[in-house]
Structures are given as C-alpha cells and as structure tokens.
Chain A
Amino acid sequence: MVRILQALASLKLTLAGMVLLGIGAALSYGNPVETSIWVLVAPMALLALNLAAAILTNPRINRQPGLLVFHVGLLGLVLLAGIGRLTHLDAHLEIAQGQSFRPELMMDVRKGPWHAGALDKVAFTQGRFTVDYAPQLRRGLTHSQVFVPQPDGTVLELDVGDDRPLVLERYRFYTTHNKGFAPLLTWIPHEGEAVTGLVHMPSYPLFEYKQDNRWTPPGTEEDIKFWLQLDTGLTLEDSWVLDGRNSRGVLVVTSGDQRIELKPGEEAQLPHGRLRFERLTTWMGYRVFYDPTIQWLFFVSVAGVFGLGHFFWKRLSLVAWTDDDKGPDSKGGTA
C-alpha cells in the first residue's frame, strides 16, 4: 500500500501530468464545442492523485507548512472547480423595459447536473437603461435600472451595469453589449382574442443597419416583416448616449405587397387582422452566471499563495544571497 502511494507520489509523474495538462489547456483554447472536458479533467485528476499521494508520503512537502498549504490549496482549487462545473448555470437573458424576470426568458441555458439554485425566488423588473459612447462608437458605462421587490413589500431600485452585476439568490446578472429596441405590438385577429407582445429587434448599435424581424400570426401563414426606422441621435464623430427616452421609431410593416409605416399608436389593416404599434421600448441583454464556489475559489487560492510566500520567505531568510552563501539550503542535493 505504502509502495503504491510512493509510486503515485513520484515527481516524474507530476511532470508528466503537467505536460498533459498543458496539452489539455491548448486544446481548450477558445472553448471549442468539439473538445471534450476530459482533456482537462483527466490530467487534473491524475495530478490530484499524484499530489494527494505526495502530500501523504513526501516529508519534503508535508513537513514544510508553507509548501503544504500551497499544495493543499492546489488540490482544493481542482476540487472546487469540479464542484463549480457540476453546480453552475450559465445563460443569456433578454428582458424588455417593464418586463418581470421569469426563468423561461433565459436562453442558451447551460448548467451542471447538480445545479440546485433558487431560480424561482429570483424576482426583478427591468427599468430603462442608458449606455455612454465615446466618439467612433466606443462603448463606455452602462446604467441599467432594475426594481427588486423586498420582503417587506417595498421595491428597491438599483443601478447595475458593466462590472456591477445584479446579484439575487447568488445568481449574477451582468449587462452585456447586447441590447436594443423592441416595438410593443397588439394583434387583433378577425376572430379570436387580441394578443399583445414584443418583437425584439437585433442588437443596437451593433446591427444598426438591419433593424428587422418577422412574425407569423398564430393560425395563419401570413409572413409579416418588420423594419424599424430609428432616430436615436447616433453619431460617429461625437460622444453619444443610447437612451430609449430620446429615441423615436417608425415601424415599417410589410405583408405580401402591402407596405405600411406606423408611428406609435397607429394601426395597420392586414389580411388576417389588425396590427397596432403601441409604443417603442427597449430590451437589455444580460449574462446570467451562477457558481456557488467562486468565493471559496478566491479564498483557497489566496491562502495557497500565502503558503507559498511563507515558504519562500523562510528560504530567503535562511541564507544570504552572496558568494559566502554556504549555509544550509533546506533541501538536499539539487540546489
């Protein structure tokens, strides 16, 4: 048993594991979909075994507290990162002004098999937002207003954006460059109930040149095309603020050979019903992130580095860095 552990603890195995991890990292560059997570997990598992064995059997590690803390920290990081992958959630969210968060609004949801967050307790309503731009359309600060209901019945208004996420139930909502306009439309069919809904136009100003979308009313085969003509004050030469309150839009509706321009409040008569352009509103794109391990990752890694610092400090003070440096170096032979 001890023999096996000592073999597992070999430093040559450490080197092999590190080379494999390097290859795994190279394969993971850019997170290609076709690369299996195992290219990282396998070398990390090997190194974790190797390291655990070394910690148990190699007195050069386990008798030097600083070095021990550092290597245990490494083991902790691998473990935490693993737990993080099993419990995480990553998603995108597009939410319009006035809309309340519902989990179904999230898109591209990717989550670990053990994910168990209280997503159903997350409640907020999106308000308006502004984004500052420097000349040449270089993005500055984003200010996104959100309303969060409190247990005592009041509503808390928060300003989030960029590196200030909205954090609710450990879910973190980060604003992204992805945001734009959304006409609010009501469809009144010849028969049946009227429906009101939003059509999200492509991200603005990134796709300023193609603010279009299409929609087919339920129960028909009519292909309605929307094109939003916007006046947002956008300029290339000057600073500019993207702000829904300063933006006007005319909705160009095309169906078959009919082409109608609608201002907010106006209606179009189409083959299967009437379409009313209620008003122009905006949507904000968030990145949703949940990983219960991040604080622990931080603490464990900082503690590990302090261990290494302590070990180094002891080494440093053992001997002077000069030619008469004949003092004991704490390890035999190789130095």
Chain B
Amino acid sequence: MNNIVAEQPWLWAGLVAYLVATLVAMWGLSPRLAGVEGGVARQHEKVVLASISLGVLLLTIAIAVRWVRIGHGPWLNLFELLMSQLWSLGLIYALLYWRLPGLRPSAAIVMLVMWILGSWVLLLEPLPSHFPATYYNFWKWFHVGLGKVFLGLLLAGVGLAGVMILRRTERGRQWFRAMPTDAVIDRLAWRLMMLALVFDSLMLITGAVWAQDAWGRYWAWDALETSSFFTWLLLAVGLHVRLSFKLPPWLSGVIIISIFVLAFVTYFGIPYISPAAHKGMV
C-alpha cells in the first residue's frame, strides 16, 4: 500500500456516509414496516437524507484538500472524475430526495448504482494529474457543471425506472408499496428525462464552444462527441416513442436505464479508450 494522501481519509469518510444512507434506505423497504403508520414508516428517510448530505460535505472537503494539494480541480484523471461525480450526484440526488417525497423509496436503487462509482474509486491510485493548456478555458465550468446536473437527473430517473421494473415481481411490489402508482412514477420519470434533455443540450452546446476554443473546431465526431450525440439522440427517441406508443411501465424503465448506461459509458468509458479526446497532447 502506498502512502495515504491528504484527500483519501475524507473520501473514505464520505463513502462511509453514503454506505449508511444505502443501508438505511434498503432497510426502509423492509416488509416489517408494512402496516406501520405512514409517519412512523418514514422516519428513516431523515437519516437517509442526513447521511447523503453528510457524505456530500465530506466529499467537498476531500475535493478541496486535493485541489490545494495538486493545484487544480478534479477535472482530469479517472480518480478525480469519479470523486467529483460522487460529490455532484450525491448533491443533486439529496436535493431531489428532499423536494420530491414521492421518489424517496427508490433511493435504495439509486444508492446501489452510486456504489459502482464508490467501489471503483477505491480501486484507483490518487495520482496527480497534468493540467493541459485547453483547461484554462472558462467554458469548462459550464460544460462540466451542466453535465453533472444532466447525469444527476438521469440517476434519479434510473431509481424510478428500477421501481417500475422490480414491481413486476411480488417482492418488488412489497418493497415499493409506499410509492405512487406506476403511471405517476412513469410521468415523474419522464419529466426528469425532459429536464435531463435540457441540461444535456446545454452541455453539448457549451462543450462545442469549448471545443471550438480549444481545438479550433466545434464538432468533429471524435469518440466522445459521437457517444454523447447518441445519448442525446436516445433521449429524443425515448421521448418520442412515448408520444407514439403506449408503453408498459417496465419498458419505459428499460429505455431510461439504457439512456443512463449510454451516458455512463460516455462519461467514464470513452475518454479512457480514446486518448485523443479531452487530453492535452504534446
């Protein structure tokens, strides 16, 4: 084991807080709580919200400490991107969890998905990264920030999609008995998708402006651009499929999850298989 660097204890503490949120959210689905009066049955939701918020706070410190240590923000290597996404996904989800009580039980699914990032970041070395010339550009703030909101909304959609799919089983219906009907969940999920489309479009626009500044072209079908275009198009297809056909809730859920998977691969897969995009070259 190498030396522990300054941000790691804060990162681990943040992940522990997320772990507490995950376990409590799962416990909250327990059939033992069935029949218990609504108010009492929802006590644990405060713990979930508080733990996610604490996790976000601890991750904020982790990011700040690293920022000071290496001299620039978490924009570049996979370790940084995962840490920063864990932070922003937690923040956005905490806000949605707070404002939209209807979706709270789906936190069990959302937090489990978050653990893909959580366990991945634990496997990586916190190596410092090089800050390329093209990253001084101020559009990166908009591009990255809008992308974070986009992914956060998709993640919340995945929670609802998971509920619609799991409810095809008896156990799933038990777990999510406290949630509104599938029709309401479906509508809520697709509103999140529409909002996601707004942020996705803005992310692509600001990304194109940045690309024009950085490389002298706004769109050139590189790996990242092609993949993010697919994500945008799939969102458009999803929204229009819903206008043309009456979809069963589980299929609606499958479409939402595919959009998320594509977005996830665009964020965390593509930049690392194609060295040409978004990396400063010699």
User: Which single residue of chain B is at the shortest CB-CB distance from A84?
Assistant: B218
Q: Is A105 an interface residue (CB 8 A)?
A: no
CA distance in complex: A12, B134 (Å): 42
Q: A163-B214, A323-B102 are in contact. Are A308 and B233 (CB under 8 A)?
A: no
Q: Is B230 an interface residue (CB 8 A)?
A: yes
| Residues in chain A near residue B133, CB distance under 8 A | 139-142, 161-163
Q: A174-B215, A312-B191, A315-B191 are in contact. Are A30 and B237 (CB under 8 A)?
A: no
Q: Is the CB of A312 within 8 A of B198?
A: yes
Q: How far is the CB of A62 from chain B (nearest CB, A)?
A: 15
Q: Is A128 an interface residue (CB 8 A)?
A: no
Number of B positions contacting A (CB below 8 A): 55
Q: Is B123 an interface residue (CB 8 A)?
A: no
Q: Is the CB of A28 within 8 A of B221?
A: yes
Q: Is the CB of B281 within 8 A of A334?
A: no
Q: Is B226 an interface residue (CB 8 A)?
A: yes
Q: Is the CB of B197 within 8 A of A15?
A: no
Stretch of B24-32, B41-49, B205-213 on the interface side: B205-213
Stretch of B59-67, B78-86, B164-172, B242-250 on the interface side: B242-250
Q: Is the CB of B220 within 8 A of A31?
A: yes
Q: Is the CB of B198 within 8 A of A305?
A: yes
Most central of A19, A138, A206 by chain B CB within 10 Å: A138
Q: Is the CB of A139 within 8 A of B132?
A: yes
Q: How far is the CB of B241 from chain A (nearest CB, A)?
A: 7
| Residues in chain B near residue A325, CB distance under 8 A | 180, 184, 187
User: Which single residue of chain B is at the shortest CB-CB distance from A136?
Assistant: B130
Q: Is the CB of A174 within 8 A of B216?
A: yes
CA distance in complex: A29, B221 (Å): 5
Number of A positions contacting B (CB below 8 A): 56
Residues of B contacting A: mostly? helix
| Residues in chain B near residue A297, CB distance under 8 A | 208, 218
Q: How far is the CB of B9 from chain A (nearest CB, A)?
A: 28
| Residues in chain B near residue A302, CB distance under 8 A | 202, 205
User: Which single residue of chain A is at the shortest CB-CB distance from B190?
Assistant: A335
Q: Is the CB of B281 within 8 A of A177?
A: yes
Q: Is the CB of A18 within 8 A of B280?
A: no
CB-CB contacts below 8 Å: A141-160 with B: 141-142
Q: How far is the CB of A165 from chain B (nearest CB, A)?
A: 7
Q: Is the CB of A312 within 8 A of B195?
A: yes
Q: Is A298 an interface residue (CB 8 A)?
A: yes
Q: Is the CB of B209 within 8 A of A322?
A: no
Q: Is the CB of A18 within 8 A of B230?
A: no
